[in-house]
Amino acid sequence: MFADGSSSQWFTFLTFPQQSQPGEFTFVFSACVRDKYLPHNIFDYISTLSPTFVALLGDNIYADSDGDINTGPPNSVVAALRGKYVRNFDEHFQAVSSNIPIVAIWDDHDYGQDNSDSTYRYKEETKKVFKESFPIYPFQVENKGIYYQFKIADIDFFVLDTRWYRTPMDKVDNNNKTMLGEEQLSWLLNGLKLSTAPFKIIFSSVSMNDYGGDTSSDKVGFDSWMGYTFERAKILSFIEDNKIDGVMVFSGDQHYPSAHILNWNVPLNSVSQTDTSIVYSLSDLNRAVFDFSSSGFHNRRATGRQLILGNQNNPFYSFEIFRAAWGHPPSGNQITSVYGLVNIDTRNSTKIISVTFYELDSVNGIIELYNITVTRDNLTGVDSQSIEIPSSFLIKQNFPNPFNGETNIIYSLSENRKVELTVYDVLGIKIITLVNGFQNAGEYKVTWNGKNSYGTPMASGIYFYRITVYPGENKGKLWNDVKGMVYLK
């Protein structure tokens, strides 16, 4: 803020929800921003979403392409890396990063070299420039890898470094092969065990499912967690043994969007499903771990390894919920921009996390690809938010929820009062007012058909209904309550 009362446009960040308290927020995630394919117009679209933060999950530059910094000499590496960040972070990216917080990790290309690991010779130099280029994070250790933890509302985030400590990918996969290193692995497992968050979110630059992962550079093995299955099994077994619910992994590198479930059991049932969306309840899934992958932010499409249908019935393998149709071989070299938009709401007894994948099409603009919603209620062991409400008034959770078509909302009044019942979207925009008038004491049931006040059907997603009971003429206080619901078309 300047002396004349004006403020700079560069510092207009959103307010974060109160830490450790239930709340509602959004974030965008993706990876792989190739400087060869400037300009990065995708960031203009991201700005219109006004997310709480943007997660860049690796390959934010390509140090070994479009001018390879690995040719040395060592004293030129830092300057070369700085030049790459300046070139790649064009005006479109700067417009986002000036107004929306950025969370970043690195993968092989911004760590330094394709499929690089703990033996990479310039990792000290790349860490120096990485720390110059992004906000300062609460790194767990300052003189080693760049892993760290943070919290938004009552959600815990664990940000992994999958490069600094890792064993080369072409080594035999056994108990001695590591992606995280002993210290970072112990930090992650202890953090998951101690967390009381309804959802524990892990950011990994490489996918945890069985189908993502690079095999280039003429090396054997996989560059993803598929090349480190013993360590992956340690993590999944620890989650199972310690009864840790609500673990969600968000990853990059695949160059096609996908969603998988690990640690699942038969039967693997969903609450509901359409052609473009699916809803799961954690109360049905035990210790299942979700893996959401989205990339590239602006890069070539990748083919990925083809789905093995037999694996879909075998809990030993990742269950594939969704994969973009163009992610199946053959694919070609088309440039694309894909990202995931995550909505989290823990303010009510039913906790909700919703992940929607989008693609920027040069002809049709932003296209919604698929939505996965995961709910968690009190039966899974998460304490609901303590909300003080007058004993004379009550509004119940809508049913069915999630719903397709219509849903019912029941509320009770013990006094004659003016009542307003309104539906909002996740941005707080009013969709429709269902009730607005004076009502006598009693129980009421209102039905919403998923349409706005103009009769137009709404898109699938998370919505909220708010009841306001106004004071009487001579007595009483204003009372209101808000609950979330999931609409599927």
pLDDT at 378: 54
Contacts of 237 (CB under 8 A, 6+ apart): none
Q: What confidence tens digit (pLDDT) does each residue in 41-87 have?
A: 899 999 899 999 999 999 999 999 888 999 877 778 999 999 999 99
* Class (C level, CATH) for 24-380: alpha beta
Q: What confidence tens digit (pLDDT) does each residue in 363-383 have?
A: 778 899 999 999 997 533 333
Q: Which CATH number fits domain 393-487: 1.20.120.450, 2.40.30.10, 1.10.645.10, 2.60.40.4070?
A: 2.60.40.4070
Count the Cβ atoms, other than its own, within 10 Å of residue 18: 11
Separation CA 234–CA 236 (nearest Å):
6
The low-confidence residues of the chain, meaning pLDDT below 70, are 1-16, 18, 216-217, 328-332, 378-392, 473-476
pLDDT at 9: 52
pLDDT at 365: 83
pLDDT at 163: 97
* Angle formed at CA 45 by CA 39 and CA 51, multiple of 5 degrees: 125
Going from N- to C-terminal start, the domains of the chain cover 24-380, 393-487
Quickly tell me which residue has 């075998």 as its tokens: 314
Question: What one-character DSSP code corresponds to residue 33?
Answer: B
Q: Are the C-beta atoms of residues 257 and 294 closer than 8 Å to each other?
A: yes
Same fold for the pair 24-380 and 393-487:
no
Q: Are the C-beta atoms of residues 38 and 62 closer than 8 Å to each other?
A: no
Does residue 229 sit in helix, strand or coil?
Answer: helix
Does residue 219 sit in helix, strand or coil?
Answer: coil
Separation CA 233–CA 163 (nearest Å):
19
Q: What confidence tens digit (pLDDT) does each residue in 195-204 have?
A: 989 999 999 9
Q: Are the C-beta atoms of residues 146 and 124 closer than 8 Å to each other?
A: no
pLDDT at 11: 46
What 185-192 contacts at long range (C-beta under 8 Å, 24+ apart), as own/partner pairs, is: 185/231, 185/234, 185/235, 187/140, 187/147, 188/147, 188/158, 188/160, 188/235, 189/235, 189/238, 191/149, 191/156, 191/158, 192/158, 192/238, 192/239, 192/242, 192/244, 192/247
**Whole-prediction pTM value?**
0.76
